[in-house]
Structure 1
Amino acid sequence: MAKKLLSCLFLFFLLYSFSQKPSEESFKNIIFDIKFTTAGDQEIKKIDSIISICHQSGYKNCEAFGYLKIANIYNKNNDIKKAFYYTDLAEKKNLITSETDFEAVFYFYTIRSLLYQKLGERVKAIKMLDEVAGRVKDNSYFEYLLEWQYAGIYNEMGDRKKALKAYKNAYLKAKEYRKKQDPDIRNNLNKLSNSYKPIAYLGGMYQQAGKMDSAKIYIEEALRETKNIDEKGIQYTTSFYAGEYYLQVGDYKKAQHHLLICKNIVVYHYKSQNNHEAVIENLINLYGKMGQKDSANYYSKELLALKSSNEAQNKEQKDILDKRQATEDNIKKKERKTLMYICAGLLTGMICVVLYFFYFKKGKTENTIPSEIISGQDNDLFEQVTMLAKENNPEFLTRFNDYCPGFSEKLLEIENFKSSEIRFCAYLYLNFSTKDIAEYTFTSVRTVQTKKYRLRKKLNIPNEADIYLWFRDLMK
């Protein structure tokens, strides 16, 4: 009952906010304020509602943030397929462009990187981060997030030297970010609390390197700094590395305390594959050392079931990505093949022209050219014009006017057309279909249909008349 009431109040707030036409920034703040670690289906529905309003208001950046937040929630809940779907959706809707707010672009690439990392595609994961690495200078928030993510990939690849360096950089940049905060940080609470994560990660890195004194310093700093932060993600990270540290130094009571906190969080809130498996592996190790075989066996069975489920899901997603890659490769092969055919055709045409000049035209004294030669030239010119049209070449209209003299002048007598409109009319005169024009001009079928409709209005072409025949009749 309480959840339904809260949902109703939230929808009422959105409707009221929409009626007041708030800024895009205010909607972004609402999305940021939704707690990531505890988010689930209810929060996804709320974000969906905000996306709908942002779409209607033309707030593209806010719409992109919404899809990426949903993708990250599904990633956190170990649903990689849906996470990929929402990052793909943001891309397909043309929300990630050079004009998009950089923060949205940054999240797009870093979320994609995390997803590839989970699938073991570490080269692709690093490539995603490299795409935005050069654009985050002088912004400590983006810099620490980027370094932190690089460190995780390097660590998985076994390059501990690079991982340690990246974690150190992330730690320093996160500290720098916290110092720069203004007194009023309401809109940055999630970002601020998140910036404490590198402390524990750095402690964990020193622990892996066997430098337990350094590990102790950072683990204790993490426990101290995050003690009063009510955010499950921070609690998980700090407790996980604290649990590992105490397990290694033989303080099993403290290790059990922190690892059970992590277990509770991954079961109810933080279902990420890597996190879940890591906690269970540590619990198996802990109970093995404590001599509690039943508990160790219980978690061993749970780990096997979890790995089996994750492998099946990851295989399915990898198959989807492999199919998509294969499709893209086939398209590129076809394009290369088509280009080869075009080049071969051009070469043949050039040879024919050379032969014509040397063997047919040589020795002719009369200026009159036989009709069959003119016909051949017209065919050659037609092929050139058609090829330029298909390539959307800027020279198309110039060559078309050579092929069809007077076409542009006749249109300008009827209406003061722009060059782009005459170009579109030329495509219709050449009898290209709506689908062909859309493909050659890199626009949608709907856009071409709209242009046709507007053209009919300007030229007073009746709806029942064939627009292609109309243009043919124009030149008679």
Structure 2
Amino acid sequence: MMKKLTVLFFFISSFFYSQHTEEELKNVLFDIEFSTAGSKEIEKIDSLIKVCKKNSYNDCVALGYLKIGNIYYRDNDTKRALYYINKVEKDHLINSDTDFEVLFYLRVQKAALYQKLGERVTALKQLDEICDEVMKSDNAYFNYIMNLQYAGINYDLNKKEETLKYYKKAYKYSKIYRENKGNRYRVDKNRLNNSYTISADLAGIYLELNKPDSAKVYIDEAIQNEKKINEISMRFVTSLNAGKYFKAVKNVKKAQYYLWICKSIVENYYKIDNYQMQVAEELKGLYESIGQKDSIGYYSNWLLQIESSNISQNRALNDAIDRQNEIEKNNIKKEAKSLFLILSLSIAACLLFIFLFLYYYRKHKSKNLDKIDIPHQPSVDESAFKELIQLAKENNPEFLTRFNEYYPHFSEELLKVSPLKISEIRFCAYIYLNFSTKEIAEYTFTSVRTVQTKKYNLRKKLNIPGDMDIYVWFSKLLK
């Protein structure tokens, strides 16, 4: 009976969702409550993904996978979380036309997983790869999330002043996002709730920097916000830092009250082991301060259980990543073997062609002894140009050096017009070689939108008239 009802539900939901645009379906995904999401919500997201696949809404499919991965991460099921995050790339949902929002959430979730494994350098690399694009996007919410992630990694590295710096930036962007002047951003319930947690985070870091007065300002603000918002993730972050604050100022009753709220939340909703560990450590420390031995023993045992679970989870996650890396290495080896075979066959075919050509040429060459029998070879310039084009397609670091050798006056003429950066001159070289926007995006591993933005910025810097084609302008540069 349940199976029939599930099929019926999927049929009805599929029909309902099939009438929506991709943007509308993405909004449905964003509106699914994150903190309390469980199997029913995952089933709903699955049904959305199936509809999106039928309509070739790749961005929507990718966001669905990332949403499911995030729910499993919240429940401390890192193996499943990694599976869904990897599906975004395995199912080839990322290309030059992919919306930046998808790339952003993919990098952020990967950074969170690597941070959990203690691989903070790799986590930072994931964020660094999107940092410039986030800044250019001028999206307050993306900037808020990115600075939160940087703060968390720096906190793990015990760089508390750096952590405070990033929290302050996040706080600034959270206010800009909530003000939403000109309705520039999509303000949904999940994002709005998340944007309020920064006050409690600031209180926590000020407390660790031994600035209780500053901590109190933000704790008071966080408690007031929590009363207005009344959402689980907001309640957890606020209660945790409030518990820390009241423990520090020796108010045991209030510290216990807030930390018990945290304990209830991590047992029922936020099962991530590092959240559980923070709560257990704070409660253990609180009871040590008042000498309650039974409670100290209870939370000591809980900490041991969490650490054991954490080791097991991290081992499983590491194994999954190792298997993934092994598969990628094997695929690279297979591709290398295939390329070697194709190259060998190509060389053999070329040699055969050259042999036949020389044989035919010698057989029919003129009897005039003054004629020199030299087979045609491509000119040095032609050969160098082909090599230059190949370097551009591979996004090879040597590309600009070879380009300047081939066109020695290009950079000089360009710099006369405007003091461009090396990266901008390299981008100009791609335009001069007449690569299209889509080709540049493909070869430089960026989005079409990014390339269009760079072209627009170059027009302004080089004062290219609005009615002139940018390719025509560059073609006239060396004439």
TM-score range, shorter chain: 0.5 to 0.7
Match in the other structure for 1:424: none
The whole-number CA distance in structure 2 between the counterparts of 1:30 and 1:348 is 57
Match in the other structure for 1:78: 76
Q: Go from structure 1 to structure 2 and tell me whether the alpha carbon gap of 1:184 and 1:163 turns closer, same or farther (over 3 Å shift).
A: closer
Deviation of 1:325 after TM superposition, in Å, equals: 2.8
The whole-number CA distance in structure 2 between the counterparts of 1:111 and 1:53 is 24
Deviation of 1:77 after TM superposition, in Å, equals: 0.4
Q: Go from structure 1 to structure 2 and tell me whether the alpha carbon gap of 1:339 and 1:271 turns closer, same or farther (over 3 Å shift).
A: same
Match in the other structure for 2:140: 140
Q: Go from structure 1 to structure 2 and tell me whether the alpha carbon gap of 1:351 and 1:220 turns closer, same or farther (over 3 Å shift).
A: same
Match in the other structure for 2:200: 200
RMSD: 3.7
The whole-number CA distance in structure 2 between the counterparts of 1:7 and 1:217 is 50
The whole-number CA distance in structure 2 between the counterparts of 1:365 and 1:118 is 73
The whole-number CA distance in structure 2 between the counterparts of 1:187 and 1:159 is 32
Aligned length: 362
Instruction: Please give the secondary structure, in 1, of the residue aligned with 2:42.
Output: helix
8 Å contact kept, 2:203–2:214: yes
Of the two structures, which has the highest relative contact order with CA contacts closer than 8 Å and spacing of 6 or more? 2
Unpaired runs of at least 5, structure 2: 367-374, 376-389, 391-479
Q: In the alignment, does 2:283 pair up with 1:299?
A: no
The whole-number CA distance in structure 2 between the counterparts of 1:345 and 1:16 is 52
Match in the other structure for 2:95: 97
Amino acid at match of 2:42: I
CA deviation vs aligned residue, 1:377-421 (integer Å, no higher than 9, x gap): 9xxxxxxxxxxxxxx9xxxxxxxxxxxxxxxxxxxxxxxxxxxxx
Instruction: Please give the secondary structure, in 1, of the residue aligned with 2:98.
Output: coil
Deviation of 1:338 after TM superposition, in Å, equals: 9.1
Match in the other structure for 1:243: 243
8 Å contact kept, 1:29–1:187: no
Instruction: Please give the secondary structure, in 2, of the residue aligned with 1:324.
Output: helix
Q: Go from structure 1 to structure 2 and tell me whether the alpha carbon gap of 1:43 and 1:349 turns closer, same or farther (over 3 Å shift).
A: closer
Q: Go from structure 1 to structure 2 and tell me whether the alpha carbon gap of 1:182 and 1:292 turns closer, same or farther (over 3 Å shift).
A: farther
Match in the other structure for 1:427: none
8 Å contact kept, 2:17–2:25: no
Q: Go from structure 1 to structure 2 and tell me whether the alpha carbon gap of 1:13 and 1:207 turns closer, same or farther (over 3 Å shift).
A: farther
Tell me the TM-score normalised to structure 1 length.
0.68
Deviation of 1:131 after TM superposition, in Å, equals: 1.6
The whole-number CA distance in structure 2 between the counterparts of 1:18 and 1:335 is 40
The whole-number CA distance in structure 2 between the counterparts of 1:278 and 1:333 is 44
The whole-number CA distance in structure 2 between the counterparts of 1:302 and 1:346 is 65
8 Å contact kept, 2:196–2:234: yes
Match in the other structure for 2:121: 123
Q: Go from structure 1 to structure 2 and tell me whether the alpha carbon gap of 1:367 and 1:326 turns closer, same or farther (over 3 Å shift).
A: same
Match in the other structure for 2:41: 43
Amino acid at match of 1:178: R
Match in the other structure for 2:409: none
CA deviation vs aligned residue, 1:184-235 (integer Å, no higher than 9, x gap): 9996121111101111111111111111111111111111122121211111
The whole-number CA distance in structure 1 between the counterparts of 2:363 and 2:11 is 89
The whole-number CA distance in structure 1 between the counterparts of 2:331 and 2:23 is 40
Deviation of 1:9 after TM superposition, in Å, equals: 10
Q: Go from structure 1 to structure 2 and tell me whether the alpha carbon gap of 1:185 and 1:130 turns closer, same or farther (over 3 Å shift).
A: closer
Give runs of aligned pairs for residues 24-423 of structure 1, distance below 5 A. 24-137=22-135, 138-180=138-180, 188-329=188-329, 367=365
CA deviation vs aligned residue, 1:91-148 (integer Å, no higher than 9, x gap): 1111222212211211111011101111111111111111211111211110011001
Match in the other structure for 1:389: none
CA deviation vs aligned residue, 1:26-85 (integer Å, no higher than 9, x gap): 211221111111111111111111111111122212111111100000000000000000
Deviation of 1:151 after TM superposition, in Å, equals: 0.4
Amino acid at match of 1:254: K
8 Å contact kept, 2:273–2:309: no
The whole-number CA distance in structure 1 between the counterparts of 2:8 and 2:269 is 24
CA deviation vs aligned residue, 1:346-386 (integer Å, no higher than 9, x gap): 999999999x9xxx99xx99949xxxxxxxx9xxxxxxxxx
Amino acid at match of 1:48: D
Deviation of 1:322 after TM superposition, in Å, equals: 2.4
Instruction: Please give the secondary structure, in 2, of the residue aligned with 1:134.
Output: helix
Tell me the TM-score normalised to structure 2 length.
0.67
Deviation of 1:181 after TM superposition, in Å, equals: 5.7
**Greater C-alpha Rg:** 1
CA deviation vs aligned residue, 1:247-272 (integer Å, no higher than 9, x gap): 11111111111111111111111111
The whole-number CA distance in structure 1 between the counterparts of 2:224 and 2:6 is 36
Q: Go from structure 1 to structure 2 and tell me whether the alpha carbon gap of 1:297 and 1:15 turns closer, same or farther (over 3 Å shift).
A: same
The whole-number CA distance in structure 1 between the counterparts of 2:157 and 2:302 is 26
